[in-house]
Amino acid sequence: MATDQIRQILRDCGAGNRRPVTAVTFRQKFPSASRPILVRCDDDGDYVLKGSHNGRSLVADHVVGRLGQLLGAPVGQVGFGVIPAELKAIEPQLSDVGTGLCHATRWVPNCSDKQGLDHVDKLYNRERFVLLRLLYSWTIANDHQLIYAKSEPFLVYSVDHGHFLNGSTGWTPASLREIGPVTLDPYFSGCGLPDSAFAGVKTQLAQVTNDDLRMIAAGPPDEWGVTHDDRIAITEYLVARRDRLLTLLP
* Residue 22, amino acid: T
Q: Which domain holds residue 141?
A: 3-248
Can you give the pLDDT at residue 63?
98
d(Cα 8, Cα 12) in Å, to the nearest integer? 6
Q: Quick one: pLDDT at residue 99? A: 82
Please give the pLDDT value at position 47.
98
The gap from C-alpha 111 to its chain's centroid, in whole angstroms, comes to 17
Q: What pLDDT is stored for residue 55 in this prediction? A: 86
Helix axis angle for 210-218 and 3-14, nearest 10°, is 50
How many angstroms separate the first and last alpha carbons of the chain?
28
Residue 102 backbone phi and psi in degrees, to 5: -100, 160
pLDDT at 32: 85
Per-residue pLDDT at 165: 97
Count up the domains in the chain and report the number.
Answer: 1
Name the 3-class secondary structure at 46. Answer: strand
Looking only at Cα atoms, what is the longest distance across the chain? 55
Q: Return the pLDDT at 116.
A: 93
Pairing mode of beta strands 21-29, 156-157: unpaired
Q: What is the mean pLDDT of each run of 10 residues along the chain (250 residues)?
A: 93 95 96 92 97 92 97 96 95 91 96 94 96 97 95 96 95 94 94 89 95 97 95 98 95
What's the pTM value of the predicted model, to 2 decimals? 0.95
pLDDT of residue 207: 95
Q: What pLDDT is stored for residue 180 in this prediction?
A: 82
Angle (nearest 5°) at CA 158 between 157 and 162: 165
Tell how far CA 83 is from the center of its chain: 21
